[in-house]
Amino acid sequence: MEANTGHRPLLALLIRLGAIAALSTMSALIKLASARGIQLPEIIFWRQFVTIPILLIWVLATSGLATLSTRRPGTHAARALYGLVGMILNFGAVILLPLAEATTINFSVPIFAVILSTLLLKEQVGIWRWSAVACGFAGILLITQPGSGHIPILGAMVALGGAFMIALISIQIADLNRTEKPITIVFWFAAISTPVAAIALPFTYTPHSGFEWLLLLAIGVFGSIGQLLLTAALRFGAVASVIVMDYSALFWATLYGWMLFDMLPPASTWIGAPLIVAAGIVIAWREHLLARRGKRAKIAQQGTQTVHDS
């Protein structure tokens, strides 16, 4: 699965689109499950539990169980803890807010990533990315309209917390990616977080109808498919290139919100969303440019060193 298959940007974009469609479907199913009285801890448990057999079947059919071996169990445990907090917040936002608003606020992940890169990685951030951060937060204010009662302030705060956790987890995963395969990271997240999530089951479990069991199964299946496709997209294209496809989630959120919950986003969401999307695109573009400059500088330095050695 992790073999070098070459740079195929169009295929990467198509796979990323599929991933976002799957994850958006999962979000709609989570909201539907909650509306039928299934509590969040149980949703999280089944979301993670279903992932384990799916990934085991995947690796047995492809690269073998050795793919899942790791020498960094402690780091995986920390990632699982952060991931559980992130799932609680992001799934909670889907439950508390209309789908379109929860999805749009989630687009603020690149904004928090810039802030965290300065605080944790001591990275120098220039005027372009700080301007994008300001633009993105302006979009968030337009959508949430604090004090207006348009959307619950608790839901908005939970959604922002979820976006922050995704940005924080991304730094963790970048560290794990130095030594671990992507599917290994996904597997150990599910394997460690499932028994932790199971602790809450005796207090939250209620009997389910056949349809509700299908909902829980579908949440796990679509979530797993989405994670696998996200991983596959990065085999063929760079993060900065494929991340623009993530904004297609707004289409799915609007469609599902209308079809399943008879809810359409108000004008303020359509005004604020482009600001957040534009901020994310500018941040991705600047990071892509900086990465290219760094690569060129490294090549030039290697060339100079070669000449000096000869």
Is 143 within 8 Å of 104 (Cβ atoms)? yes
* Burial (0-12, 13-18, 19+ Cβ within 10 Å), 253: buried
Report the pLDDT value the prediction gives residue 298, as an integer from 0 to 100. Answer: 66
Closest C-alpha among 250, 208, 207, 224 to residue 99: 250
Compute the half-sphere exposure of residue 178: CA atoms within 13 Å on the CB side of its CA: 8
Q: Where are the domains of the chain?
A: 9-309
pLDDT in tens, the chain (310 residues): 444 445 677 888 888 899 999 999 999 999 999 999 999 999 999 999 999 999 999 899 988 898 899 989 999 999 999 999 999 999 999 999 999 899 988 888 878 878 877 877 677 777 887 888 888 878 887 877 766 666 788 998 999 999 999 888 878 887 887 888 888 988 999 999 999 999 999 999 889 999 999 999 999 999 989 887 877 776 676 666 677 778 888 899 999 999 999 988 888 888 888 888 888 788 777 776 766 776 666 666 665 555 555 5
Query: Structure pTM?
Result: 0.83
Report the pLDDT value the prediction gives residue 276, as an integer from 0 to 100. Answer: 83
Other Cβ atoms closer than 10 A to 157: 15
Token pair 């460690």 is found at 192
Q: Which amino acid is at 164?
A: F
CA 225 remoteness from chain centre: 13
Closest C-alpha among 201, 173, 206, 170 to residue 188: 173
Report the pLDDT value the prediction gives residue 299, as an integer from 0 to 100. Answer: 65
CA separation, residue 297 to residues 172, 293, 300 (Å): 26, 6, 5
Report the pLDDT value the prediction gives residue 3, as an integer from 0 to 100. Answer: 42
Backbone dihedral angles phi then psi of residue 6, each to the nearest 5 degrees: 90, 170
